[in-house]
Amino acid sequence: MYFMFTAKQYQQKLLEKIQKIYSQTPISEITKQAYWAMPRHLFVKRYFDRQSRKWHNVNRWNSIWHLSEFYRDTTITLLIEDEERFVSTISQPSLVLYMLDLLQLKPGHKVFELGAGSGWNAAMISHIVGSEGHVYSLEIIPEVAKMASWAIDRLKIKNVSVINADGGEGYPAGAPYDRAIFAAGIYDLPCYFYEQIEEGGLLLMVIKNPGGWDNLFLLRKTESCFTSLESMSCGFVPVTGKYQLESLNPINIETIPEWKDLQHQEVSRMPFWWGWKGTASLNWKTMGIRSFLGITEPNFCTFKSENNEPSQPDKYFGLWEREHNSLVLAKDDFLIAYGSSVAKEHLLQKIREWVDLGMPCAANFKLKVYPIDIPLTANKNQWIVKRKDSQFLWSLK
């Protein structure tokens, strides 16, 4: 006999899977209630299937055929730019519920959200904060904001405002906020949030790292800064708009003027396997060291070079010490030095430092985020990274 799961059954199976993932830190009852109250499939009008590479329109008559996709523990792609770059997604459900728990939401809270996406996250938050609370969800992409508003209006949710604007500037009309959540990765903490978040309030933000990968940090607002409470590695689409940063993308090595001569000045080629053997990509093998170098080493760079498939360029990393005309590349299980050995010796010294410190990645650091104009001094095992609006004090203690 042919049998098809109902939406409730799919919801239940996904929740059971999520509960197994977080068996050591169970998802709270209030978050589970929000999950049940706001079924994920009601927030998808159109999505991109990454396997078939096709777009699907969803309506009340055909939604049942897509339930198995909506209740997998994976992201759902809502918008693609240039046929390659995902610019709006519904995040992985297990991570979404975990993030809701991290926010410690209470009835009556006012919440700021950067990146509305489908509206699913804002809707679940609205269920927790109740009629006395409110969610202000800012979405910079008009098409995505329209989709989120459609879902919120369709479900007659009254305590969510979807605003088509650049969330990087906050939303002073709704401030001050008890909680704020960034649903897109950002490289800086915009200055506006020092004023718009209540002292003692929580900010859950995704911090982009030059070494690749993102890091989710839960921060508490104090009088002078934001201080980290929890952290983990993750992956999110980047912000667009005023705080978009293209320099996080790998540098095309052919665009470095010195490379024309340096590529003919190889001085050494040293085998280096990063502790792995086999087909694992350099990206996976070096996640920890790249994350560490992105915080502690100003000369660290990620690179790419074109191959026979321009849509999938070769990617690697290294140190570029322009003052010494010295470059080292970690590529194809080798450390390749060009110009001189200065950059290679520096990289080896940083690798030894990383090992001595316990091989940390960014999520292992304690973090304090200050306005850019506050005088700061780094002590032992501390590093200050300055951005446009904020400075990040990373600590290993």
Which residues are the active-site residues? 91
Cα Rg for the chain, rounded, in angstroms? 23
Phi, psi of 178 (to 5 degrees): -80, -30
* Alpha-carbon distances, residue 170 vs 26, 103, 194, 256 (angstroms): 32, 18, 10, 37
Cα 262 to Cα 156: distance, rounded to the nearest angstrom: 62
Q: Residue 115: which of 149, 143, 88, 147 has the closest Cα? A: 88
Question: Which tokens in the block code for residue 250?
Answer: 């790998």
Contacts of 373 (CB under 8 A, 6+ apart): none
The answer to whether residues 152 and 162 touch, using CB atoms and an 8 Å cutoff, is yes
Nearest to 314 by CA among 271, 272, 282, 360: 282
Residue 267: what residue type? V
Q: How far apart are the C-alpha atoms of 46 and 49, rounded to whole Å?
A: 10
The helix or strand, by DSSP H or E, that contains position 286, with its residue range, turns out to be: none
Residue 295, token pair as written in the block: 């915080």
CA–CA separation, 383 vs 394, rounded Å?
5
Query: Among residues 105, 295, 114, which one has the least CA distance to residue 189?
Result: 114
Residue with structure tokens 């694992």?
280
